[in-house]
Amino acid sequence: MSITKESELVGIQKISEVVATTLRLMREYAKVGMSTKELDNYGAKLLKKHGAKSAPFETYGFPGYTCISVNKEVAHGIPSNKKILKEGDLINIDVSAELNGFWSDNGGSFILDKDLHNHQPLVDASKYILQKAINRIKGGVKIADVGHLIETEAKKKGFKVIENLAGHGVGRSLHEAPDNILNYRVRSNRERFKKNTTVAIETFISTRSNTAVELNDGWKLVGNRGGYVTQHEHTILVTDAAPVILTQANGIWN
């Protein structure tokens, strides 16, 4: 979305605060022995409290209000009463919603309680790379150059990137142009970030896979070569200097 007036900025700020706070509180609420459905219900209550509508539920008919992916699920994990959280689980929560015609998106991966399976280096890499990528963005910067930065930093840390999932424009709908903010460089992509636009920047950092594959349920994504994937995501406002991180309240860098 291109911000052209104050009311649009206020609108995207409000919904960004809602989804960011919901993500942070859901992360804090997650406990060993809890089902992912119970965690999702909590997120739904938080969104409803602010008058916001779940984007995946309302727009795509997703069977949940938030996406909760556990361990080897890459994304679009379906909340379930049968899926019980355990100590050491690698969990990703993705929260996107609409309020008063404005949409925002954010997500984050974390380890539940003790890091029993040594996932922390992967989580830390994803956080660090997202921060470095966002710090690079301003009006006029090539989208492909940011993708190259993400892939290069992942390789430095011994990881890969998922190539068929991407960041995207957001604001008046959940997915807008540009829809190709990939985690690697496509040399033929000459598109640049534009000042005063809002975009969702997200990392998909992987231990083994480079492609996300959809399972038979029509939603859940897993890696083509197995392993684990972490995702962190902020909605930002592009400026001609440092970007404004609209979902800062999610605390994923804390």
Length of the chain: 254
Q: pLDDT band at 13, cuts 50/70/90?
A: very high
Structure confidence by residue, pLDDT tens digits, 218-251: 999 999 999 999 999 999 999 999 999 999 999 9
Q: 56: buried, middle or exposed (CB in 10 Å: 19+, 13-18, 0-12)?
A: buried
Q: Which residues are annotated as a binding site for substrate?
A: 76, 175
User: How far is Cα of residue 98 from the mean position of the Cα atoms in its chain?
Assistant: 16
Antiparallel, parallel or unpaired: β 90-99 and 67-70: antiparallel
Residue 157 has what pLDDT? 98
Return the percentage of the chain with pLDDT > 70, whole number: 100
Structure confidence by residue, pLDDT tens digits, 115-145: 999 999 999 999 999 999 999 999 999 999 9
Residue 250 has what pLDDT? 98
What torsion do the CA atoms of 236, 237, 240, 243 make, to the nearest 10 degrees? Answer: -30
SS3 32: coil
Domains annotated on the chain, with CATH: 6-250 (3.90.230.10)
Residue 46 has what pLDDT? 98
What torsion do the CA atoms of 74, 19, 26, 69 make, to the nearest 10 degrees? Answer: -10
Residue 196 has what pLDDT? 98
Q: Which residues are annotated as a binding site for a divalent metal cation?
A: 94, 105, 168, 202, 233
Residue 3 has what pLDDT? 97
Antiparallel, parallel or unpaired: β 198-206 and 67-70: unpaired
Q: Are 180 and 130 in contact (CB under 8 A)?
A: no
Structure confidence by residue, pLDDT tens digits, 142-165: 999 999 999 999 999 999 999 999
**CB neighbour list of residue 140: distance below 8 Å, 6 or more residues apart:** 192, 193, 195, 240
2 forms bridges with which residues in the sheet? 197
Residue 113 has what pLDDT? 98
Q: Which residues are annotated as a binding site?
A: 76, 94, 105, 168, 175, 202, 233
Residue 112 has what pLDDT? 98
User: Dihedrals φ, ψ of 88, to 5°?
Assistant: 90, -5
Residue 180 has what pLDDT? 93
Q: pLDDT band at 92, cuts 50/70/90?
A: very high
Q: Are 156 and 103 in contact (CB under 8 A)?
A: no
**CB neighbour list of residue 85: distance below 8 Å, 6 or more residues apart:** 30, 31, 32, 33, 34, 35, 36, 39, 70, 91, 112
Residue 163 has what pLDDT? 98
- What global pTM score does this model have? 0.97
Average pLDDT, the chain: 98
Residue 242 has what pLDDT? 96
Q: 235: buried, middle or exposed (CB in 10 Å: 19+, 13-18, 0-12)?
A: buried
